[in-house]
Chains A and B, each alone.
Chain A
Amino acid sequence: MRTLRFLLQKEFRQIFRNKSLLPLIFFMPVVQLLVLPLAADYEVKNIHITIVDRDHSTYSQKLVSKIGASGYFRLTDYTMGFDEAFKDMEDDRSDLILEIPPGFERNLVRENQQSLFIAVNAINGVKANLGGAYLNRIIADYNKDICLEWIQTSKFNPSPSIEVTQSNWFNPSMNYRFYMVPGILALLVTMIGAYLCSLNIVREKEVGTIEQINVTPVQKYQFLLGKLIPFWVIGMAIFTIGLFGIAWPVYGIVPAGNLLLLYGYLSVYLVGILGLGLLISTYADTQQQAMSVAFFFMMIFILMSGLFTPIDSMPRWAYIIARSSPVTYFIEVMRMIVLKGNSFEHIWRHFLIMAGFAVCLNGWAIVNYRKTN
């Protein structure tokens, strides 16, 4: 116990004396939590649209002002000819082109139908998809308005229609930040934990101090625990700062579930992810190697964690990879507890899986860490 206490004391001293590391540990998560959720926005706004109006009627004016009023679109240009509009798109100034044909109002009144033309710039897939959908929706809405205006509501012949209303559970206002912030917080804890932990041991290898430690009677598990515990504490601290310092006051995210349960899961998760860091460090000889390997895993874990894209819609092989990453489970649990307020009975399976990760990764690290070559 005394040995471990001194190992921890030494480790904390070194961390707190590192003038560049300490601000990084605490400053980076704060800044990232402030910046990333605002940038990683799922709602597409500022879709640039060019409208080709060949009609110049009251109806076409109405449509244009309706599009403008939606708040999603920004009118780049309002022209007479399609060629000019197409040039806008070629120059990347416009994402959508809406063409209103000549005689739009007349034909609509006389023949009860008229078609519009929408051209979508599909280079940015998300923007194109959503922009097109938004525009369709606005036009449909517009169509309905006209119907109400023109067709006398007949008592005998009501047009059958299904009206859909929806309500969003667990996130009533569909605020995407509620969805993103817990996920990003999970990622930050993961990155700090895995990187710092793996770099730390490798640094001892590079400086040569591990040589000196290896000739002492210190046991392997003592040494590794001495590395794991400090970063576990730092991980907990970062999470707390992120949750109560940023997520709560800035984004108004109050965990709906039990805080104790959340921290309980975090503590198991941290052991697992730090175990990964330890494992990497037992294989790497230089900080550069450790960094590259850790980066490789982090990239896969982050992009396949379900933070950005739902893992259920991934192809089978990708789904399996995503399911074998600890980050996926943590983000899931974060959302389950913070947004949904799930209790232990809903996440005990996640607990078991994470405990499995923790045991395997740390066990592997202990076996692979050799004091003798």
Chain B
Amino acid sequence: MSIIHCQLSTINCQLSIINYIKMIVLNNIIKTYDKGETKAVNNVSFEVGKGELFGLIGPDGAGKTTIFRILTTLLLPDSGTAYVNGFDVVKDYRVIRASVGYMPGRFSLYPDLSVEENLRFFATMFNTGIRENYDLIKDIYTQLEPFKERRAGKLSGGMKQKLALCCALIHRPAVLFLDEPTTGVDVVSRKEFWEMLKRLKEQGITILVSTPYMDEAMLCERIVLIQSGKILSVDTPSTIIGQYPERLFAVRSDNMGRLLSDLRNIEIVKSCHAFGGYHHIAFVDRIAFAGQANFADEKENPQNALLHALENENHRNIEIREITPTIEDCFIRLMGNHYQPTANGFT
């Protein structure tokens, strides 16, 4: 289960084997709440290399925040070991605290202090000043500059996130932990935020970011898909998509609600999930690959078979087209069989 092997197998890999330094390592981390009744993190292991933009992707309650809190030394794991920048999160917590930046999911700066005061306060807490590391936050801080006298509590959501990012960066951390930084932020600010992360990555800062939004997964270099405290897959987003074993089709018609139940009743349809404007379906293996082999044969084409079946059900304006799977498709498929410990994450 070696990471290096995995890197070699992917085309998108930007890291060379020589430069690969492990910045974050988790070995079989387990954390339970309520005296062992709730398993928040169940036997999680993964590694993040230096300068990587690594995504922790999973729905609410998957255990993302717990992992963050363990790595930032705020929470002790029940068992397992974890290292940040080569230091043990339990034993060397002091060293880690001085060298990581953490931005919790909830806005947690002082609402009654101004933008500038917050920044200076956190700079001082890390025994540094704003000027020393100004170059690192310059891009972000210039956007905040017009509001520097304003109380942090009075900022807009996007501005709050930028300030929080500045405060987490002010001591030039080696590793940056961002817990759902884009939750509750508008689309434009989200895009800007990811641009900022890319620039920070270029400065050599390792970034671990979590998000419940699957579309943001594509912006990370490598991701771990996590569900109910268990890892479903660790790889680059394109590899995970490339490993999707089925051909996927998007289907729509005038009556989407009825279409979903009808699709699930048609025997050649293996799986069907609602995705915004379309339903994503996969055909049962026999039909799907038969169609691929004899594409010329109209009768055997699964799309046509489906079209006929749907027309018989009185659906109008039917549209069926083959699509490339998204991370969300992969996630849903993996969720379905996550009891298999090493899903398909490693080649």
Identify the A interface with B (CB < 8 A): 2-3, 6, 10, 13-14, 17-18, 207-209, 211-218, 371-373
Contacts and interface: CB of A to CB of B under 8 A. Distances in A.
A373 B104 CA distance: 16
A207 B107 CA distance: 8
Interface string B99-126: 0101010111111110001001110111
SS class, residues of chain B in contact with chain A: loop
Given A17-B112, A212-B102, A212-B167, A6 B94 contact: no
Given A215-B97, A373-B76, 11 more contacts: A3-B127, A10-B117, A13-B112, A14-B113, A17-B112, A208-B106, A208-B107, A209-B110, A211-B104, A212-B102, A218-B125
A373 B66 CA distance: 11
Contacts of A3: 124-125, 127
A216 B108 CA distance: 13
B289 interface: no
A356 to B, nearest CB: 31
Given A13-B117, A14-B113, A212-B102, A372 B126 contact: no
Contact of B104 (A10, A18, A208, A371): A208
Give the interface centre of A13, A211, A218, A373 by most chain B CB atoms within 10 Å.
A211
Interface string B130-172: 0000000000000000000000000000000000000100000
Contact of B74 (A6, A207, A372): A372
B93 interface: yes
A10 B113 contact: yes
B45 to A, nearest CB: 21
B73 interface: yes
B104 A372 contact: no
Nearest to B179: A211
A157 to B, nearest CB: 86
Interface of B: 72-76, 93-94, 97-98, 100, 102, 104, 106-113, 117, 120-122, 124-127, 167
B97 A18 contact: no
A88 to B, nearest CB: 59
A372 B111 contact: no
A217 B98 contact: yes
B222 to A, nearest CB: 24
Nearest to B70: A372
A212 B109 contact: yes
Contacts of A215: 72-74, 97, 100, 102
A211 B94 CA distance: 15
A14 B125 CA distance: 17
Contacts of A2: 124, 127
B99 to A, nearest CB: 9
28 contacts: A2-B127, A3-B125, A3-B127, A6-B124, A10-B110, A10-B117, A207-B108, A207-B110, A208-B106, A209-B108, A209-B109, A211-B74, A211-B102, A212-B102, A212-B122, A215-B72, A215-B73, A215-B74, A215-B97, A215-B102, A216-B126, A217-B97, A217-B126, A217-B127, A371-B74, A372-B74, A372-B76, A373-B74
A372 B121 contact: no
A141 B284 CA distance: 113
B20 to A, nearest CB: 26
Nearest to A218: B125
A1 to B, nearest CB: 11
B94 A208 contact: no
A373 B98 CA distance: 18
Contacts of B74: 211, 214-215, 371-373
Give the interface centre of A14, A215, A371, A373 by most chain B CB atoms within 10 Å.
A215
A209 B102 CA distance: 12
A77 B248 CA distance: 100
Contacts of A218: 125
Given A208-B104, A212-B122, A217-B126, A373 B75 contact: yes
Contacts of B72: 215
Contacts of B124: 2-3, 6
A215 B74 CA distance: 7
Nearest to B151: A17
Contacts of A371: 73-74
Nearest to A17: B112
Contacts of B117: 10, 13
A337 to B, nearest CB: 39
Give the interface centre of B93, B98, B111, B125 by most chain A CB atoms within 10 Å.
B125
A13 B122 contact: no
B97 A216 contact: yes
Contacts of A6: 120-121, 124-125
Given A10-B117, A216-B125, A372-B93, A207 B76 contact: no
B98 to A, nearest CB: 4
Contacts of B97: 215-217
A13 B167 contact: no
Nearest to A214: B74
Give the interface centre of A3, A6, A372 by most chain B CB atoms within 10 Å.
A372
Give the interface centre of B74, B76, B93, B94 by most chain A CB atoms within 10 Å.
B74
Nearest to B98: A217
Nearest to B123: A6
A93 B110 CA distance: 58
B127 A10 contact: no
B147 to A, nearest CB: 17
Which are the 9 A-B pairs with shortest beta-carbon distances? A208-B108, A216-B125, A6-B124, A217-B98, A215-B102, A208-B106, A212-B108, A217-B97, A211-B104
